[in-house]
Structure 1
Amino acid sequence: STIYATFMVADTAIRLSVDDGTLCGYGLNNQKEKIMLFDSTGICIDAMEWGADYDEVPGLPAKLVAKANSLARYGEVDQDDSSLDFVECSSPTPGSQNIFDEESENVIPDENSDEHLGCDSAIILIIELYYHAYANMKNEFVRIFNPSNRTIDISGWYLTDEPWKQPEDQPKIIFPKDTHMLPDTSFFITQNASDFLWETTMLPDFEYAIDSQPSVPQLLTYKTVSFSNTGGLVGLYTAASTLIDLIIYGDANQFISCWEGPAVNASGQGVVLRRNTVNGTYIDTNSATDWVSPRIYRLGQSDLKLQTDSCPGEVIVFVSPDNSYETLVHELQNAHVSIDINMYEFTSTCLYSEIINALQRNVRVRLFIEGSPVGGITEKEKYILCNIADNGGEVRFIVSDSTNRVYTRYPFNHAKYIIIDNNTVIIESCNWGNTGVPQNPTYGNREWGIVIKNQGTADFFHLVFEGDWNPARSDSVSLESMNLSYSNNFMLSDYVPTGIYTPCFTRQTIAGPCLVTPVFSPDTSEQAILGMIDSATTSIYVQQLYIYKDWDETINPFVERLISKAAEGLDIKIIMNYNPSFSQTTVQTNETKAYLEDHGIMVKYLSTEWGLFAAVHNKGMICDNKTVLISSINWNEQSVRKNREAGVLIENEEVATYYANVFLYDWSLETLQKSNSDFSWADYKYLVLIAVVICITLVLIARDWRKRKWR
């Protein structure tokens, strides 16, 4: 075996040297090698590689060095990427600060460095491409990034949409003289800076097709660069026409040697292609793998990350129909400074009254509402929103209006949360309506909600609210611009529906600590829910309005993971709503139910027609009686990957047990059947109509017979 000699060369450094006399194949290879440093428990704490990209080592390999030279870490840089962290050094100095050759500059000039560059150098990366803009928008863009620890001179570099051509024939977008990219920075390069600003609320670094903003540098062009909506190539070149990076997308029919495998799938209109990262480092394999992601990045959307915060304060757990009304009223009545509401629909008369009362106490109220809910904005909701505005509240909508070049960031704003006094957050599955927050607890939907009194959580939700509300966003539209109107004689009804449900649960205040993880679609919901399922070891309880088995042409990833967990022997129970009036949804939920049951998962329907609840409108999950998800997130692709949705993961056994008890109560319910005495016009209307027709026919026949008889 190989023997290494150990030398203490400084108080903080050790040199290991191979004894060549004992070398039996375990020395360091000149052409390709990896070195990994492990601690005493077997955990890798550092690694480097050269000549080849090893799976066990993060980042890309360092370049090969000349004979007798070494690789040395550049200063104290540690980006977990050998290509960035290590530089060739002709004078190794073990135990002392690394000394680099004079020609090793912190700025790499293009003209003298092309022999070291190329597609595999990862010196500058294309990290975003927006090639299919909306109608009448000229804001196609490319975003490039400097992942290194050095400033890079890109003077004379250019982008082209025809990299397969000879350099002299390529259309070009050219960077001017003295253009330098600082370490860890990016440039946005767009057609029209004003259109870019309109949809992103920020100015780009450069524009090239139209000089629309004097403050944005205009790039020179040679011929016309235009990114195809159906498929194409985009290449980044040095001034000496060395290809640095490339992306091939859609139905492109041109391929060049820098690219491996098929093109990146077409994104569709309004969607940004974005390079993937691992632990904050961009992946660069020169293939579609770098770009393929379940996340659909629409222009202008947020890019939130999962963030868990320890909550030392209290949380209040509640459910509908049992106690949601009293819980919300209590919190609203205790608001002193502000109430920010993000809601899909607001039709609750009683909660409307509480908002008016808050405004009369000089509490600032802002509502961000979906502008095009399924079925439209009802006259009742128009009345409520207009009167809130008339009493000093601020109301904005998220809408799409293509005639005025307005395109929504999210197909639907389906989130349901409230921020009170910037220190309390309420997250719910319910809209503010008579069924979601029923005034009488004998009637209404099954919903979950939670009140979190924690500054960190409130700050996170406030950041998201401000970003979505932002009046500078083209799709954030004021109430005045919506031109909502209702009839002059419209009046709110004070009718309070009642039902047959007997309330079983009271709201509970639970003292911390607990772990709180905000969850938002389309940013983090898929990652969070999959992670929650994967973490389960004993049980998973899911309660959903509906679950679709198929997303596009693939199996719902949540369904796939649940089936995997069932194969491990976990106790998995799923409750879904059953409403035969929605025939298409019923067909899909029946398919999901059968598929899950075929894989050993227990599924139960609660009917809207004969059950205790108006509907099971919940969107929650409990794992191991330890972690719970409360959210607005339906388990379909639209809700997870496209809509704006909101939720929260709470890790606390007492909190999770509360919702588990509610779930198991619902699981124990029998599906109620109508008794013979429960007559319903809906059930018998066709029989009655047939009987009426027969009777009328008989009467006419009899009358005709009598006439004939007496003639």
Structure 2
Amino acid sequence: MRTPLLLLFILFFIPVAATAGITVTAFCPDPYLPYDPDEFIVLTGEGSLDGWTITDGEGTLGFPQGSRINGDLVLARQAEAYWTTHGVYPDFEWDYSTDTVPNLIHTDNFILANTEDEIELYHHGTRRFEIAWPRDLQPREGQIHRIVDGIWNPRPFMIGQSDFSPIQFEGVSATLFVSPDSAYEVIEQAISSAERSIEVSVYEFTHPGIGELLIEAQNRGVSVRILLEGSPVGGVSPEQAALLSVLNQSGISVDYMGVSGGERSRYRFLHSKYLIIDSESLLLTSENLKESGIPLPGYAGNRGWGVWIHDARLADYFGMVYSEDSIGSDVVPISPMRNADIPASGTSDAHTQRYSPLFIEGVTIIPVLSPDTSHLVPEMIAGATRTVEIQQAYISNWTKNAPNPWLDAAIDAARRGVKVRIILDASWFNIQDQFDNDEMAAFINRYADADGLPLEARLYQGDRAGITKIHTKGVIVDGNSVLVSSINWNENSPMNNREAGVIIEDPDAATYYLRVFEEDWKNEYRPAGQTLAIPSEGWPKPAIAMAILLFFAGIILGKRIRKD
């Protein structure tokens, strides 16, 4: 069941359309309940509703005499069904289900069709608004179509999703760290410092050492809660099932979002990776709670970036995100295994620590959430004037081989004269197929060479430096701003997943992660036999889409290899 909090986001964060008077600002013609009794329309405006009617070309809705609007007004087909989905009643219903909500006046059969229909708004017979699908927008089950800053559907907004707005926090202190060098010691310190509460939001969790730290916290009276993805790529591993069972049996609350065969999940994946400590600090990283991502000191593991933020305001902000995510019909408690034991620690190669944690203070931090505010990342790159460094596990095209707009932002930066460098992972699963990181890096470099752009992509040879793979999801801009996040550079991650990150605006933070980037930049992997030819003449931007489309034709969309 949806919560009133989410409905408040829908109602109060939908900007009023830039036309005078009353208009339609949101609607949902294809919700999840059978036969769509919870479909709805949102009107926005001020004044009397006398003389206003809505039609879909088959039926017409009108308002009782004397009705008025003051802001947003929700009109639902059946109020009880709308309450089932959203947790609150609408302002009006047009198909009677309860005496609690007033009825609209309707003639003929007003039911919004899923795949093809229209909404028209009239005032005393004069049409004031119209929209049709699929003419004006693409229909999709579960999507709330809405207008934001004069644009319909700037991102898919699905039933149950949050809608947090961008916010900035100044005067923040933080501890910076990287994997594999110093991640475990910072996470151990953060968990050990907890006195009242720990909330964990993570994609996968198999780390026995961190599991034991959380059990110790629970035993000393700390309230520990864990929320995980219920259907990760490849399924829940036996190691995770065993570890979570032990944690749950020790008294820790463990829930899954989006289990297979359960209620529809609000997000494609819960892919965030953060811990909230005592509602006073926030630890956020690119790494899952696995030994490969957070290795014990002295052992090899993934390259990843992280930050422990010592600020109650940011902790409260992410506490709201956690509260929003942890309740809903798609969240269920785990079913613990009987007689489970904490899995034994794995083995890995030794690794010499090169990067100790760094404490900084007085910095500005901007949270980044997917899908709510992930647009801040390409906007960050669009603001670059000198340099952009990007380190990603992989970069892939969007649906139907459409070009990646985040990569477009980097290419645009290079066209402005900004020096752009990109590091991608060269693990076997990221270069084994025909359309993977090696082909993407080759395309970027040949495109840059053809137009003389200050743009270069390299693949990372992990075994040269004792790094298992590149798992970072980070960006550095102008030596002043840094993105630390869980956001992969594919379509799903910024548009459909729950992801979490922060932009840190501080030159010392940029210098810290840039040192790591520079070392990784030197460890280049050079695959053989790449021959992607493109024109040597100046290439207009529209050709980017065509070139990528042709080059990656036949790509297997939604590839399910465990790349996270």
Q: TM-score surpassing 0.5?
A: yes
Partner of 1:273: 145
* Structure 2 contact 426–438 (Cα < 8 Å) conserved: no
Deviation at 1:401, TM superposition (A): 6.3
Q: Percent identity?
A: 30
Q: Letter of the 2:161 partner, please give it.
A: Q
Match for residue 458 of structure 1 among 303, 311, 315: 315
Distance 1:334 1:229 in 2: 52
Q: Which residue of 2 aligns with 1:661?
A: 515
Of the candidates 214, 217, 221, which is equivalent to residue 355 of structure 1? Answer: 214
Which residue is equivalent to 2:179? 320
Match of 1:201 among 87, 98, 111: 87
Amino acid at match of 1:269: E
CA offsets 1:502-541 (integer angstroms, 9 cap, x no match):
221111112x21111000000111x211121122111111
CA contact (8 A) 1:549 1:559 kept: no
Q: Distance in 2 between the 1:220 and 1:583 partners?
A: 61
The equivalent of 1:499 in structure 2 is: 349
Take 1:550 and 1:155, find their aligned partners in 2: how far apart are those partners? 46
Corresponding residue of 1:190: 76
In structure 2, distance between residues paired with 1:576 and 1:324? 21
CA distance in 2, matches of 1:355, 1:231: 51
CA displacement 1:542-591 (0-9 Å, x = unmatched): 11000114454431111112112112222211111112335676623233
Name 2:120's counterpart in structure 1: 235
Check 1:672–1:576 CA distance in 2 against 1; reply closer, same or farther (3 A cut).
closer
User: Which one of the candidate residues 384, 392, 409 is aligned to 1:561?
Assistant: 409
Give the equivalent residue in structure 1 for 2:329: 474
TM-score normalised to structure 2 length: 0.85
Q: Does 1:336 align with 2:195?
A: yes
Distance 1:591 1:271, change over 3 A: farther
2:376 to 489, 507, 528: 528
Pair 1:495–1:651, CA change in 2 (3 A): same
Contact 1:320-1:441 within 8 A present in 2 as well: no
- The whole-number CA distance in structure 2 between the counterparts of 1:218 and 1:584 is 60
Q: Residue 633 and residue 534 in structure 1: after superposition, are their counterparts in 2 closer, same or farther (change >3 A)?
A: same
Matched, 1:544 2:424: no
Return the match for 1:371 from 230, 238, 241. 230
Q: CA deviation at 1:485?
A: 3.3
| Residue 247 of structure 1, aligned match among 131, 137, 158 | 131
Task: Report deviation, 1:484.
Answer: 4.7
Distance 1:135 1:457 in 2: 36
| Structure 2 unmatched runs, 5+ | 1-14, 528-564
8 Å Cα contact 2:364/2:505 also seen in 1: yes
Structure 1 residues 662 and 508, CA gap change in structure 2 (3 angstroms)? same
Is residue 299 from structure 1 mapped to residue 299 from structure 2 by the alignment? no
> Contact 1:611–1:671 (CA<8 Å) still a contact in 2?
no
Equivalent-residue separation in structure 1 for 2:128 and 2:398 (angstroms): 40
Whole-Å Cα distance in 2 between the matches of residues 352 and 427 of structure 1?
17
2:19 is aligned with 1:159: no
Distance 1:435 1:298, change over 3 A: same
SS in 2 for 1:629: strand
Change over 3 Å in CA distance of 1:216–1:474 after alignment to 2? farther
Distance 1:603 1:414 in 2: 26
Residue aligned with 1:298, SS: coil
Instruction: Check conservation: 1:521, 1:645, Cα contact below 8 A.
Output: yes
Shift of 1:315: 0.7
Correspondences of 1:388-537 after superposition (within 5 Å): 388-399=247-258, 406-470=263-327, 473-479=328-334, 483-485=335-337, 488=339, 490-510=340-360, 512-525=361-374, 527-537=375-385
Larger radius of gyration: 1
Counterpart-to-counterpart distance in 1, 2:131 and 2:117: 8
Q: Which residue of 2 aligns with 1:178?
A: 66
Q: Which amino acid aligns with 2:333?
A: S
- Residues 631 and 668 (structure 1 numbering): CA distance in 2 closer, same or farther, change over 3 Å? same
Structure 1 match to 2:24: 126
Residue in structure 1 matched with residue 551 of structure 2 by the alignment? none
Please state whether the residue corresponding to 1:648 is helix, strand or coil. strand
1:80-95 alignment runs, 5 A limit: none
Structure 1: distance between partners of 2:259 and 2:26? 24
Q: How does 1:568-587 map to 2 (within 5 A)?
A: 568-581=416-429, 587=435
Question: What is the aligned partner in structure 2 of residue 70 from structure 1?
Answer: none
Tell me which of the two structures has the higher relative contact order, counting C-alpha pairs closer than 8 angstroms and 6 or more residues apart. Answer: 2
Shift of 1:215: 2.4
Query: Aligned letter for 1:291?
Result: W
Distance 1:590 1:549 in 2: 14
Find the aligned partners of 2:298 and 2:508 in 1 and give their Cα distance: 24
1:32-71 to 2 correspondences below 5 Å: none
Structure 1: 5+ residue stretches without partners: 1-79, 85-120, 163-169, 251-262, 278-282, 284-289, 674-711
SS at match of 2:82: helix
Distance in 2 between residues matched to 1:587 and 1:579, nearest whole Å = 14
CA drift at 1:498: 2.6
1:668 & 1:524 partners in 2: Cα distance?
33
Q: Distance in 2 between matches of 1:506 and 1:126?
A: 54
Structure 1 residue 210: Cα displacement = 4.6
- Assess if the C-alpha contact under 8 Å between 2:227 and 2:254 holds in 1: yes
State the SS of the aligned residue for 2:423. strand
In structure 2, the partner of 1:104 is: none
Q: 1:138 to 1:522 in 2, by over 3 A?
A: same
1:139 alignment counterpart: 38
Q: State the match for 1:595 in structure 2.
A: 443
Q: C-alpha separation between the residues in 1 aligned to 2:132 and 2:259? A: 31
Contact 1:318 1:507 in 2 (8 A): yes
For 2:463 and 2:103, how far apart are their aligned partners in 1? 64
Alignment partner of 2:32: what SS? coil
State the shift of 1:622 in Å.
0.6
Q: Match for 2:477 among 623, 627, 631?
A: 623
8 Å Cα contact 1:127/1:275 also seen in 2:
yes
Contact 1:315 1:450 in 2 (8 A): yes
Return the alpha-carbon distance in structure 1 between the equivalents of residues 86 and 33 of structure 2: 16
What letter corresponds to residue 407 of structure 2 in structure 1?
V
**Relative to 1, partners in 2 of residues 1:630 and 1:306: Cα closer, same or farther, differing over 3 Å?**
same
Q: Distance in 1 between matches of 2:433 and 2:244?
A: 30
Task: Give the match's secondary structure for 2:301.
Answer: coil
